[in-house]
Amino acid sequence: MKAQEVHDMTADELHARERELTEELFHLRLRRATSQLPNPMKVRETRRDLARVKTALRERGSAGTVSAATAPRDSGPVVPRSRKPRTAAASSSKPRARKTPAAGRARRSAK
């Protein structure tokens, strides 16, 4: 599907095409997972066609409801997250010994 074809469609046609492509992509992924997809490039083409349709809808501003992912964020003040206080064991200056399988074998063979 060419970009010009998408831009020539009406909003209703774009919504219908979006639903069709979403369903088609689902079925293609299912067929790919079960190794029954003869042309794996069809998944790529469908994904790109769906992106073209969604872009055209967004450009026109007729995407319908605003989802949480596309909604503008509130740009309030940035508050840093508080950190947990460090415990005495975590803040000791002496580094912990590294546990390796070789060190464990050495201890066991010494017994």
Is 28 within 8 Å of 42 (Cβ atoms)? yes
Q: Could you tell me if residue 66 is inside a domain?
A: no
Helix (H) or strand (E) holding 45: helix 41-60
Domain coverage including residue 32: 3-60
Q: Could you tell me if residue 29 is inside a domain?
A: yes
Q: Could you tell me if residue 36 is inside a domain?
A: yes
* 32-43 per-position pLDDT tens digit: 999 998 998 999
Q: Can you tell me the distance from the alpha carbon of 73 to that of 69, in angstroms, rounded to the nearest whole number?
A: 9
The domain that holds 19 is classified in CATH as 1.10.287.310
* 27-76 per-position pLDDT tens digit: 999 999 999 989 989 999 999 999 999 999 999 885 555 555 555 566 66
Q: How far apart are the first and last CA of the chain?
A: 74
Q: Could you tell me if residue 38 is inside a domain?
A: yes
Q: Could you tell me if residue 109 is inside a domain?
A: no
Residue with the two structure tokens 């992509």 = 25
- The number of distinct structural domains making up the chain is 1
